[in-house]
């Protein structure tokens, strides 16, 4: 992640010199404040929205015209957000928000020092109305559904923000800005916009580039005049979360070509550099997130996130979150597990169990092979944790889809994989994936390990960057307009690539020279 | 009144060419509309406020993307007001409003043709809470008082607008703009702003230059996105009504120097040309409006608005409004009456009754001389209509104040009266004043009659001009910033001028060569 050393904020607190009224200068209160602010900001363009006009005289007089003004710059004008007592020693704050469909993360940023002050996260309360995006879109179409989806999210955000500012001893009115990044549907639900057409041909969002919105218009209980920056979307399948990822990666500041990948139910891929960007998104299936496997679950206490197999004893060594007894496996653990099974020769290059290597651990339930990963006596549930052939097949389809998308986009721009200088992995989930395991199963290309850069929560990082800096804010709109979106045509060529990628690591093993299984079981 | 032949409207209806969505072009609905509007308007700056965003997709789809867009230009950006079915044959309309403290006048203007379509007027419902401005300011300071003053005005406006659009067969949503001019206090009460400090030293309004406000923010029931242009004020004593008057007069387009006078409880005077403007306001007393005299009343049926005295018979000839039997006299009638009394020698140059000329018509009530103007048998009330010495004294003080203000301001800029090329009289009341009578009593300078130009309701005219044309809208802010406000110092010099002006027509009769009384009674 590259960053310019100097940050030009677009939300500013200033101390204008206001001469109190006299018979010699009976300029009106609002005009007086605007005049002083223009001088301090050295700008002719200072605007006061009407709802603020009513309250200004009382507050100006209360503080004896010794006030600070907080304003934001929208590229054409400074807009007054509020006035505060002159240099009261209290800061001004902003919120960066990752509008995840599963988890929402809120960061409190001190806009005077640019420092991150606190952070909180919570499950998206919309999960109640549907775990996946499609269910929520259908829910929104019901009578009052959209209002409920927006309302429950905003209300929870308000509660969490209130808790955050109380914990940090901050007044809610000193929270004067917000920046939020989410996928296209989450953005719509946050704004109370109907997502109906997002999932219906020809897939038209209500809006791609929302302007700055005052917090009061969204029902947010921060300073009512605070501007809310909502990340723009490219289209229905490529949202503001990805724009935030591109911003956070810094790939648009480099002449070398990078990949940015967000791994999830949808595999979202961006390739490009400072001159051009091409993006593509396709269904990878929920297998990569561990959502489908029998023992699969979201990361949490007792969830296996790392697996190794002792090649001498064929014993599974599992690491669980919080070191609790294992109760399931998350996506990164599953990728590890399948990679290890392959390296140990317990599955073949088609991903099928090799009976002679698996021995007693392989049992058949309803005619389907299951491998016991954790016996009941060691498990946190009292039941054995098993991985079925179906689970493996699902993961292989998902990893094949991911690799096919990467191949398709690099073929389209005619850039061979070995010319990729950086392979950024966006998203919290991506950070947990061991690139060696991902390469082993053929999910991502076999590049030098230092090429892989996990970025963590890039929605949050990008939102924070755009909240702090005008340049970053401008850049998200430049990024958005620069992206060429590649529509994936599931044609014969795609299907051929996909079929070739459904092997471990690939039918063409020369693409993965670093992967060396111990005597492939099927051979 | 000068007018540029070509009008550049700032509220426009356009027919953007919107390509309906397809898989090849899945631009979001709002962005699609904005893109087409930018092309049609040849401007990169087209903005859609958030409240509209929600409703656009449904309406775009309802009309199959064949829509017109109505937008307004704020000097930096075009803002969407609404979308309408494509070329539905219906026009777009605006309202010009004269926010008088006694009478409110509303004009309906067809913004497609620039023609005035209809007009209505009504007593300001705030009269209920106080006939004069000061009483209303005090009322506003009571609990809920301000809300009540604003609410009753807005509600009545809504009713009248509704009646107007029904009468003209117009849909309320096609009313897409409003322009309102009033004095500083009326402007505050219209906007719901606290007028408390307007009448208290150092006389500070809340705001002098309001930005465009969306109608919905004022509770107006026209198109909620319609911009409301509120005329700026110079200060507490010089409001948007006068700015409208200056605009309507066209004096700022002339190199010759003009006076603009608004005659009322306050005498407001502007002098200047295309290069400079100086303004001044001072209390002239309510006598000029006929509000104080025993028989004085506001214009209405049976009110005397014109008086002549037959110099051979000393008989009063009165003209009444609607030719009804006389019930009282309005300001213009009073000026006529006193001028005629002076020319007939029935009052002397101090304005005192000359008993020998008045004969039987003069009676004494409670020790004060009264002249019977209409005997009981001819009056509409059954009572005689009489003019007391006190009434005359009041009028003389008022006219002296007016003349003194005119003298003071012309002295200040060192322009002799005879260099004034036009003497514009603003306001409905001003139109009824006979300039010959006004000169006779020494209220206005003795200039050639063609110099006097009555302008009628200049608040309404100015409001209409600024609603129609961007140039006129810009000009009101230029006018506002150009005005030098002359604070009237009631010092010895002012008092000397005032004393000299308390004679009819003046102590220095050489200033009024055209006034030739038939043997002044007092001589």
Q: Answer yes or no: do A271 and A341 share one domain.
A: no
What is the pLDDT, as a whole number, of residue B168?
96
Chain-chain contact of A54 with B207 (C-beta, under 8 angstroms): no
Q: Which residues of B touch A217 (CB under 8 A)?
A: 50-51
CA–CA gap between residue B148 and residue B139 (Å, rounded):
9
pLDDT band of A281, cuts 50, 70, 90: confident
Shared domain check, B236 and B209:
yes
Q: Closest chain A residue to B60 measured between Cα atoms?
A: A206
Residue B30 CB: number of other CB atoms within 10 A?
24
CA A203 to chain B, closest CA, distance in angstroms equals: 6
- Domain edge (last residue) among B85, B115, B148: B85
Measure the CA–CA gap between B278 and B271, rounded to whole angstroms: 5
CA of B25 vs chain A CAs: smallest distance (Å): 8
User: What's the CA gap between B222 and B94, in Å, rounded?
Assistant: 9
Position A6 in a domain = no
CATH of the domain at A153: 3.30.420.480
In terms of domains, do A189 and A245 share one? no
Check if B21 contacts A (Cβ < 8 Å).
Answer: yes
- Per CB-CB distance under 8 Å, the chain B contacts of A201 are 23
Same domain, B303 and B326: yes
Give yes or no for a contact between B245 and B239, defined as CB atoms under 8 angstroms apart.
Answer: no
> By CA distance, what is A59's nearest residue in B?
B206
Instruction: Judge: A56–B206 Cβ closer than 8 Å, yes or no.
Output: yes
* A217 interface with B at CB cutoff 8 Å: yes
Verify that A54 and A99 share a domain, yes or no: no
A57: contact with B, CB 8 A cutoff: yes
Q: Among residues A383, A367, A366, which one has the least CA distance to residue A375?
A: A383
Check CB contact under 8 Å for A27 and B202: no
User: Peptide bond before B394: cis, by omega within 30 degrees of 0?
Assistant: no
* Residues of chain A with C-beta less than 8 angstroms from the C-beta of B210: 50, 53
> Could A211 and B26 be called an inter-chain contact, meaning their C-beta atoms sit closer than 8 Å?
no
Q: Is B427 helix (H, G, I), strand (E, B) or coil?
A: strand
The distance in angstroms from the start CA to the end CA of chain A is 44
**Residue B256: which CATH number?**
3.30.420.40
**pLDDT at residue A400 is higher than 60:** yes
Last residue of a domain, one of B362, B395, B428: B395
Nearest Cα to A425, choosing from A412, A410, A411, A439? A439
For B428-471, write each residue's pLDDT tens digit: 778 889 999 999 999 999 999 999 999 999 999 999 999 999 99
* Residue B158 belongs to some domain of the structure: yes
Domain end residue (candidates: A239, A270, A305): A239
CA A99 remoteness from chain centre: 8
Chain B residues with CB-CB distance to A76 below 8 A: 45, 76-77
Interface of B with A in 445-474 (CB under 8 A): none
How far, CA to CA in Å, does A409 sit from each of A173, A257, A446, A450, A506?
47, 13, 16, 22, 18
Task: Look at residue A521 and tell me if it is in a domain.
Answer: no
- Most distant pair of Cα atoms in chain B: their distance: 100
Cβ–Cβ contact B55 with A under 8 A? no
With cut-offs at 50, 70 and 90, classify the pLDDT of residue A523: very low
Q: How many domains does chain A have?
A: 4
In this prediction, residue B26 carries a pLDDT of: 87
Residue B4 counted as domain residue: no
Q: Which B-chain residues 69-108 have CB contacts (< 8 A) with chain A?
A: 76-77
Q: Is A213 on the interface with B (CB under 8 A)?
A: yes
Which phi and psi (to 5°) does residue B338 adopt?
Answer: -70, -40
Looking at chain A, which residue has its C-alpha nearest residue B234? A27
Residue B522, pLDDT above cutoff 90 = no
A6-45 per-position pLDDT tens digit? 789 999 999 999 999 998 898 999 999 999 999 999 999 9
CA B418 vs CA B1, B272, B414, B446, B498: distances in Å: 21, 14, 12, 9, 20
E strands, B36-191, are 46-47, 67-73, 78-85, 93-99, 103-110, 116-123, 175-182
A147–chain B Cβ distance below 8 A for any pair: no
CB contact under 8 A, B193 and A236: no
Domain assignment present for B331: yes
pLDDT of residue A313: 83
Question: What's the domain range around B148?
Answer: 93-240
For residues B120, B126, B128 and B132, what is the CA-based torsion angle, rounded to 10 degrees? -110
One domain, residues A360 and A305: yes
Task: Read off the pLDDT of residues B227-276 as tens digits, 9 standing for 90 and up.
Answer: 999 999 999 889 999 999 999 999 999 999 999 999 876 789 999 999 99
* pLDDT tens-place string over residues A462-508: 999 999 999 999 999 999 999 999 988 778 888 999 999 999 999 99
Is A293 part of a structural domain of the chain?
yes
A101 with A76, same domain: the answer is no
Q: Are residues A221 and A269 in the same domain?
A: no
Closest alpha carbon to A63 in A11, A112, A16, A110: A16
Cβ within 8 Å, pair A31-B209: yes
**How many angstroms away from the CA of B140 is the closest CA of chain A?**
14
Q: Which B-chain residues 273-332 have CB contacts (< 8 A) with chain A?
A: none
Q: Which residue of B has its CA nearest to A193?
A: B54
Is the CB of residue B463 less than 8 Å from the CB of residue B179?
Answer: yes
Q: What pLDDT shows up at residue A81?
A: 98
Which residues, including other chains, have CB under 8 Å from residue A393's CB and lie 6 or more apart? Answer: A351
Interface test with A, best of B28, B59, B219 (most A CBs within 10 A): B28
Q: Which residue of B has its CA nearest to A194?
A: B54
Q: What is the CATH number of the domain that holds A41?
A: 3.10.20.880
Phi, psi values for residue B427, rounded to 5°: 90, 150
Compute the distance between CA of residue B38 and CA of residue B45 in angstroms, rounded to an integer: 7
Residue A515 counted as domain residue? no
- The pLDDT tens digits of the residues spanning A124-183 come to 999 999 988 999 999 999 999 999 999 999 999 999 999 999 999 999 999 999 999 999
Residue B315 and residue B224 share a domain = no
Nearest to A193 among B45, B54, B217 (CB): B54
- Is there a single domain that holds both residue A38 and residue A140? no
Q: Find the residue in B nearest to A192 (Cα).
A: B54
CB-CB: which of A27, A51, A207 is closest to B53?
A207
Clarify whether residues B121 and B215 are in a common domain.
yes
Omega of the bond leading into B218 within 30 degrees of 0 (cis) = no
What are the chain A neighbours of B58 within 8 Å (beta carbons)? 194
Q: Confidence class of residue B286 from pLDDT cuts 50, 70 and 90?
A: low
Mean pLDDT of B40-63: 95
Is A23 in Cβ contact with B194 (below 8 Å)? Answer: no
For residue A237, the chain B residue with the least C-alpha distance is B26
Angstrom distance (rounded) from CA B443 to CA B401: 8
A56:B211 CB<8 A: no
Q: Is B260 on the interface with A (CB under 8 A)?
A: no
Does A506 fall in a domain?
no
From A209, which residue of chain B is nearest by alpha-carbon distance? B31
Q: Rounded to the nearest 5 degrees, what angle is found at the Cα of A392, between the Cα atoms of A386 and A394?
A: 120
Q: pLDDT grade, residue B378 (50/70/90)?
A: very high
How many A-B residue pairs are in contact by the CB < 8 A criterion? 124
CA distance A235 to chain B (A): 7
Asked if pLDDT for residue B292 goes beyond 80, the answer is no
The verdict on A112 and A230 lying in the same domain is yes
For A197, the closest chain B residue by CA position comes to: B57
With a cut of 60, say whether residue A513 has pLDDT above it: yes
Q: Answer yes or no: is pLDDT of B140 > 60.
A: yes
Q: Does A45 touch chain B (CB under 8 A)?
A: yes
ipTM score of complex: 0.91
Q: What is the mean pLDDT of residues B188-198?
A: 97
- The H or E element containing residue A119 is strand A116-123
Minimum Cα–Cα distance from B202: chain A residue: A23
Q: CA of A325, closest CA in chain B: separation in Å? A: 49
Residue B4 to residue A511: CA distance in whole angstroms: 76
| B230 at interface of A, judged by CB pairs closer than 8 A | no
- Asked whether residue A428 carries a pLDDT value surpassing 90, the answer given is no
Instruction: Give the mean pLDDT of chain A.
Output: 92
């Amino acid at each position: 992640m590259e960053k310019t050393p100097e940050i030009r904020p677009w939300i500013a607190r200033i101390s204008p010199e206001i001469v109190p009224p006299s018979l010699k200068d009976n300029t009106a209160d609002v005009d007086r404040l605007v005049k002083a602010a223009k001088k301090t900001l050295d700008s002719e363009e200072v605007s006061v929205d009407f709802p603020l006009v009513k309250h200004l005289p009382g507050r100006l007089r209360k503080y004896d015209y010794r006030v600070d003004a907080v304003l934001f710059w929208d590229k054409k004008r400074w807009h007054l957000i509020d006035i505060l007592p002159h240099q009261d020693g209290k800061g001004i704050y902003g919120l960066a928000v990752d509008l995840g469909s599963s988890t929402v993360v809120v960061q409190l940023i001190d806009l005077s020092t640019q420092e991150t002050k606190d952070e909180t996260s919570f499950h998206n309360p919309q999960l109640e109305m549907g775990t996946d995006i499609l269910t929520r879109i259908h829910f929104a179409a019901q009578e009052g559904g959209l209002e409920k989806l927006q309302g429950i999210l905003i209300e929870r955000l308000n509660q969490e923000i209130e808790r955050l500012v109380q914990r940090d001893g901050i007044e809610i009115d000193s929270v004067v800005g917000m920046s939020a990044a989410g996928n296209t549907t989450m953005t719509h639900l946050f704004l109370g916009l109907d997502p109906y057409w997002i999932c219906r041909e020809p897939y038209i969002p209500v809006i791609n580039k929302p302007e700055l919105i005052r917090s009061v218009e969204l029902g947010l209980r921060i300073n009512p005049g605070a501007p809310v920056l909502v990340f723009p979307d490219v289209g229905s399948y490529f949202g503001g979360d990805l724009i935030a990822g591109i911003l956070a990666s810094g790939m648009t500041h480099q002449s070398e070509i990078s990949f940015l990948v967000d791994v999830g139910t949808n595999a979202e891929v961006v390739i490009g550099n400072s001159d051009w960007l091409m993006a593509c998104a396709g269904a990878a299936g929920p297998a990569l997130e561990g959502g489908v496997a029998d023992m699969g679950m979201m990361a949490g206490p007792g969830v296996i996130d790392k697996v190794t197999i002792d090649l001498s004893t064929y014993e599974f060594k599992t690491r669980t979150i919080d070191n609790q007894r294992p109760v399931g496996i998350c996506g990164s653990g599953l990728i590890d597990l399948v990679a290890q099974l392959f390296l140990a020769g317990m599955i073949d290059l088609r991903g099928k169990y090799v009976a002679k290597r698996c021995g007693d651990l392989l049992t058949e339930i309803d005619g389907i092979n299951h491998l016991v990963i954790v016996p009941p006596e060691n498990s946190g549930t009292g039941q054995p944790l098993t991985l079925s052939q179906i689970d493996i097949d699902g993961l292989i389809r998902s990893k094949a889809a991911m690799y096919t998308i990467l191949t398709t986009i690099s073929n389209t721009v005619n850039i061979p994989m070995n010319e990729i200088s950086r392979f950024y992995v966006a998203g919290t989930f991506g950070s947990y994936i061991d690139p060696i395991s991902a390469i082993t199963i053929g999910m991502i290309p076999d590049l030098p390990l230092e090429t892989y850069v996990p970025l963590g929560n890039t929605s949050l990082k990008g939102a924070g960057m755009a909240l702090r800096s005008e340049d970053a804010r401008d850049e998200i709109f430049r990024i958005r307009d620069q992206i060429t979106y590649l529509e994936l045509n599931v044609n014969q060529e795609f299907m051929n690539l996909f079929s070739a990628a459904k092997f471990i690591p690939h039918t063409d093993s020369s693409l993965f020279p670093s992967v060396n299984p111990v005597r492939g079981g099927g051979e």
